[in-house]
Amino acid sequence: MRRRRYGFVIIALLALLHAYIGLRILPDLPLARAVQASGVLWLLASATLIPLGLLASRFARHSLSDRIAWAGLFALGVFSSLFVLTLLRDASLLIAMLIGLHGPAYVHGTAIAVPALAGLASLIGFLNARRVARVVDVDVPIAGLPAALHGFTIAQISDIHVGPTIKHGYLEAIVNRVNALQADVIAITGDLVDGSVSQLRPHTAPLARLSARHGTYFVTGNHEYYSNAHAWIAEVRRLGLTVLLNEHVVLNHGGASLLVAGVTDFTAHHFDESHRSDPHAALAGAPHGVGAKVLLAHQPRTASAAADAGFDLQLSGHTHGGQFFPWNLFVPMQQPYVAGLKKLRALWVYTSRGTGYWGPPKRFGAPSEITRVRLVPALTS
């Protein structure tokens, strides 16, 4: 009952926000009434499709579910830009009025600019989201790195979100690009899926082809717990990947040892107390004197505990780099790092912008990535 009431509140809020856009933009468009009427129809369709798209997984027919999800999630991306640009336009109109520039030309021009810019941002964002992620090279300097580990490479993919709009072909293209890197290790840092094993098993099958000298390692993200993490852990293992649940492996590389550890998602204990994320537990029983200690942790906010535990490098995702404006402005409210390589005491933290996308098929100002991390010796002064 409470969930249904919450759903009605969301639908009502969406309707009000669409009405706000219509009332603030459509009357000021210097266009024929027929064009303005089409704007009304678009807003009505958007307000209807968005909640349907978010609930599309409940439809019995997968083909229908996917089509509704595509329409609703694309509409959500356009709506997001329309809403933000309408707010910015209202702020600019207020400023223009205060400084005496509030004339018909400015009013009409800004009204045209809102849907034009929203459409352009959505188109560019769609193309960015649907292309295969580019490879980003990152060198991480490690103090005291053994010579045998100089140039050791880790291919990181994260936040693919196989689900309503990301399917077999999208993931297969990622796998092909990752395999071409011929990395020493492949790391998948969570949020692989959005949906059940029964729905998505055919679409995650390409993961079985991932190939690296020392294997492929996976840690859970928060979205695995929304989609039955235990079932996905079993499925990922069936595909031949190693799942690290607050544990580690020690790799021998040219006579030097490298520790690769993984923790469960930062919020996993809300779903299963036995999965509480614990970087210290991930190091339990580790040998002394390993050449480097690398932690796979979905959320960057694991970094403080990882630094305390003594890791040299943490690889994370979760943030998507904000994915598109203005959500990049809100990420720092929850996470200490949004994207890129940062330092916390003796710990390096690399946060991937993600290899896929979540929700709207839209990336603007936060390109997707496949990260090739290379360990290099730290310069000594």
Residues 74 and 178 in one domain: no
Residues 271 and 150 in one domain: yes
Supply the pLDDT for residue 66. 86
Q: How confident is the model at residue 62 (pLDDT cuts 50, 70, 90)?
A: low
Task: Looking at mean pLDDT, say which of 21-35, 49-63, 340-354 comes out highest.
Answer: 340-354
Mean pLDDT of all residues in 252-275:
97
Burial code (b: 16+ CB inside 10 Å, e: under 16) for 249-285 equals bebebeebbbbbbbbbbbbbeebeeebbbbbebbbee
State how far the alpha carbon of 331 is from the alpha carbons of 18, 28, 80, in Å.
25, 34, 16
Mean pLDDT of all residues in 226-232:
97
* pLDDT at position 208 over 60: yes
pLDDT more than 70, % of the chain: 96
Residues 9 and 116 in one domain: yes
Average pLDDT, the chain: 94
Supply the pLDDT for residue 61. 62
pLDDT more than 90, % of the chain: 85
* pLDDT at position 193 over 70: yes
Supply the pLDDT for residue 328. 84
Residues 85 and 179 in one domain: no
The tally of domains found in the chain comes to 2
Supply the pLDDT for residue 140. 98
Supply the pLDDT for residue 293. 98
Supply the pLDDT for residue 65. 85
Supply the pLDDT for residue 292. 97
Residues 209 and 63 in one domain: no
Residues 190 and 100 in one domain: no
pTM: 0.93
Residues 210 and 89 in one domain: no
Supply the pLDDT for residue 20. 97
**Where does a domain end: 86, 103, 130?**
130
Supply the pLDDT for residue 101. 77
Residues 179 and 305 in one domain: yes
Residues 183 and 66 in one domain: no
**Where does a domain end: 111, 130, 149?**
130
Both ends of the chain: CA-CA distance in Å? 64
Supply the pLDDT for residue 3. 62
**pLDDT tens per residue, range 285-297:** 999 999 999 999 9
Mean pLDDT of all residues in 246-264:
98
What's 242's domain CATH number? 3.60.21.10
Supply the pLDDT for residue 168. 97
Residues 126 and 214 in one domain: no
Between CA 220 and CA 268 the distance in angstroms is: 8
Nearest CA-CA partner of 140 in 342, 325, 281, 366 = 342
Mean pLDDT of all residues in 64-89:
94
Q: How confident is the model at residue 103 (pLDDT cuts 50, 70, 90)?
A: confident
* pLDDT at position 59 over 80: no
Q: Can you say whether residue 101 is alpha, beta or left, with left for phi > 0 and alpha for psi between -120 and 50 degrees? A: alpha
Supply the pLDDT for residue 33. 77
Which tokens go with 182? Answer: 């011929």
**pLDDT tens per residue, range 149-162:** 999 999 999 999 99
Q: Please give the order of strands across the beta sheet that includes 347-351.
A: 247-253, 256-262, 292-296, 313-316, 347-351, 340-344
Q: Is pLDDT larger for residue 328 or for residue 189?
A: 189
Parent domain of 98 = 2-130
Q: How confident is the model at residue 325 (pLDDT cuts 50, 70, 90)?
A: confident
Residues 206 and 269 in one domain: yes
**Where does a domain end: 130, 165, 183?**
130
Supply the pLDDT for residue 381. 53
SS3 of the chain: the string is CHHHHHHHHHHHHHHHHHHHHHHHHHHHCCCCHHHHHHHHHHHHHHHHHHHHHHCHHHCCCHHHHHHHHHHHHHHHHHHHHHHHHHHHHHHHHHHHHHCCCCCHHHHHHHHHHHHHHHHHHHHHHHHHHHCCCEEEEEEEEECCCCHHHCCCEEEEECCCCECCCCCHHHHHHHHHHHHHCCCCEEEEECCCECCCHHHHHHHHHHHHHCCCCCCEEEECCHHHHHCCHHHHHHHHHHCCCEECCCEEEEEEECCEEEEEEECCCCCHHHCCHHHCCCHHHHCCCCCCCCCEEEEECCCHHHHHHHHHHCCCEEEECCCHHHCECCHHHCHHHCCCCCCEEEEECCEEEEECCCCCCCCCCCCECCCCEEEEEEEEECCCC
Beta bridge partners of 72: none
Residues 120 and 138 in one domain: no
